[in-house]
């Protein structure tokens, strides 16, 4: 069965591709939609343009669109490719709103929706992603207790205890699905090349902010 992945370049969408392939789905197409606002309810905001490099690193076909009306653009893309795929895979974890919306759109085109991360325990899931060999950079934070110092950090297993404390104290989702944490995958088992960030700028707005990559490249893996 052939799937297209809704792909932001972050850990959840990348890990969903990884798991779907382990489930013997063929995921040979990535769909990336860049919202014009950081307030998007559906799509990742910072550094989505780097999905072009990540798609090349994974050797997959890639569709990239910028959009004000993200769901309308998603419908347009699915209409274009619905005769080439059987469904989509997404990294949705716990948002019934997002999952129901994606399933409704899929039904419009006779497609299935695969959500391999659905209902997973967030902290355990982050640990599993790291232990699977994913190199994950934090590129956005917007939650109580998360400071500017998190931006640019490469997630390590040792960070999970702090995320657990922040969850208990402030109620943040350790996976960041509500926008508390945004990430960029630099390397993964499904990457043939590694993404290397060469230049970036940090935008900090008092209690939230982003790391915006201005220069990046792919380099070979040993």
The reply to whether 139 and 68 lie within a common domain is no
Structurally, the chain folds into a number of domains equal to 2
Between helix 11-22 and helix 122-131 the angle, nearest 10°, is 70
In a domain, 125, yes or no: no
Residues 98 and 173 in one domain: no
| In a shared domain, residues 149 and 81 | no
Question: Are 108 and 146 part of one and the same domain?
Answer: no
The strand pair at 2-6 and 87-89 is best described as parallel
Q: Are residues 16 and 109 in the same domain?
A: yes
User: What pLDDT score was predicted for residue 46?
Assistant: 82
We report the CATH number of the domain holding residue 79 as 3.40.50.620
Q: Kindly report the CATH number assigned to the domain that includes residue 163.
A: 3.90.1490.10
Do 138 and 74 fall into the same domain? Answer: no
Residue 169 token pair = 């104290």
Span between the terminal Cα atoms of the chain, in Å = 32
Q: 48 and 102: one domain?
A: yes
Same domain, 74 and 152: no
Report pLDDT for 114.
Answer: 98
- Write down the pLDDT at residue 205: 93
Residue 107 and residue 205 share a domain = no
pLDDT value of residue 42: 59
pLDDT number for residue 22: 97
pTM of the predicted model, to two decimals?
A: 0.95
Q: Do 52 and 62 form a contact (C-beta atoms < 8 A)?
A: yes
| pLDDT of the residue at 177 | 79
- Same domain for 22 and 61, yes or no, is yes
Sign of CA dihedral 143, 147, 150, 156: negative
Domain that holds residue 52: 2-114
Extract the residue ranges of the chain whose pLDDT is less than 50. Answer: none
For residue 162, tell me if it sits in a domain: yes
Give the model's pLDDT for residue 184: 97
- 108 and 184 in a single domain? The answer is no
DSSP per-residue letters across 105-121: HHHHTT-EEE-TTTT--
């Amino acid at each position: 069965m052939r799937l297209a992945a809704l792909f932001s370049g972050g850990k959840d969408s990348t890990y969903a591709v990884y798991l779907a392939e382990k489930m013997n789905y063929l995921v040979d197409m990535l769909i990336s939609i860049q919202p014009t606002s950081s307030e998007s309810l559906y799509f990742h905001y910072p550094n989505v343009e780097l999905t072009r490099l990540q798609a090349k690193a994974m050797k997959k076909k890639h569709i990239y669109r910028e959009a004000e009306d993200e769901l309308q653009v998603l419908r347009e893309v699915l209409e274009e490719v619905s005769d080439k795929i059987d469904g989509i895979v997404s990294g949705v974890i716990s948002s019934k709103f997002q999952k129901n919306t994606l399933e409704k759109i899929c039904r419009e085109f006779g497609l299935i929706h695969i959500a391999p991360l659905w209902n997973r325990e967030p902290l355990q899931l982050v640990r599993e992603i790291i232990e699977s060999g994913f190199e994950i950079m934090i590129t956005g934070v917007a939650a109580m207790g998360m400071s500017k110092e998190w931006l640019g950090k490469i997630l390590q297993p040792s960070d999970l205890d702090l995320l657990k404390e922040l969850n208990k104290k402030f109620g943040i989702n350790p996976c960041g699905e509500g926008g508390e944490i945004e990430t960029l995958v630099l390397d993964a088992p499904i990457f043939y090349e590694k993404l290397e960030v060469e230049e970036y700028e940090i935008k900090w707005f008092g209690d939230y902010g982003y790391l915006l990559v201005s220069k990046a490249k792919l380099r070979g893996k040993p």
